[in-house]
Amino acid sequence: MAFMQPFAIVALLLILARAITELWLSRLNQYHVRAHANEVPQAFREIIDEPTYRRSVDYTLAKSRFGEIAGAFDFLLLIAVLFSGVLPWAFGKFTANFGTSVWAMASFLLVTGIALSVLALPFAWYAQFKLEERFGFNTTTMKTWAVDRVKGFLLALLLGYPLLALVLKL
């Protein structure tokens, strides 16, 4: 990457700024939670007991740390997809097979979005079935979780695809 176009540099800087801001906010939140971890806040003393509050503090910190890991993965994946040349390559293959109509372009964007979503599924699974379960918050079964993911993909297909085509048409 000896030479980068100005647009690519701006995009990279914005992505980096977003990642740094998210990490900073996460750490700031963790600091605040730790600073107030030893005592139930006055506003909650009548609704939550000490052990429940402690468990919620531990959960908040664990979820925040996991969010940082997932965020780092998302950051690296986005950088890889945008700057590795895989998008232009995939776009070339896609247009060679399906053409350049509005519907084809919407399909390419939809397929790209779904592919990126599929790559994030292990993080969603871990958050639901390991992290939430460790603290006793998970009430979702694997079947419900999987069905919800399939429904999300179907909604993206049924609603997102036509809307995407409409936006591209404009």
The overall average pLDDT reported for the chain is 92
Confirm if 153 and 114 have CB atoms less than 8 A apart: yes
Q: CA triplet 146, 107, 143: central angle to 5 degrees?
A: 5
Cβ-based neighbour number of residue 53 at 10 Å: 19
**What pLDDT is attached to residue 3?**
58
Confirm if 70 and 124 have CB atoms less than 8 A apart: no
Whether residue 58 has pLDDT greater than 80:
yes
Three state DSSP letters for the chain: CCCCCHHHHHHHHHHHHHHHHHHHHHHHHHHHHHHCCCCCCHHHCCCCCHHHHHHHHHHHHHHHHHHHHHHHHHHHHHHHHHHCCHHHHHHHHHHHHHCCCHHHHHHHHHHHHHHHHHHHHHHHHHHHHHHHHHCCCCCCCHHHHHHHHHHHHHHHHHHHHHHHHHHHHC
Report the distance separating Cα 78 and Cα 66, nearest Å.
18
With cut-offs at 50, 70 and 90, classify the pLDDT of residue 127. very high
Whether residue 2 has pLDDT greater than 90:
no
Q: What does the pLDDT look like over 135-148, one tens digit per residue?
A: 988 899 999 999 99
pTM of the model: 0.83
Report the distance separating Cα 132 and Cα 120, nearest Å.
17
Report the distance separating Cα 26 and Cα 54, nearest Å.
19
Q: Which residue is listed with tokens 């100005």? A: 6
Q: What does the pLDDT look like over 84-125, one tens digit per residue?
A: 999 999 999 999 999 999 999 999 999 999 999 999 999 999
**What pLDDT is attached to residue 73?**
96
Whether residue 80 has pLDDT greater than 50:
yes
Report the distance separating Cα 78 and Cα 147, nearest Å.
27
Report the distance separating Cα 58 and Cα 3, nearest Å.
46
**What pLDDT is attached to residue 65?**
97
Q: What does the pLDDT look like over 7-33, one tens digit per residue?
A: 989 999 999 999 999 999 999 999 999
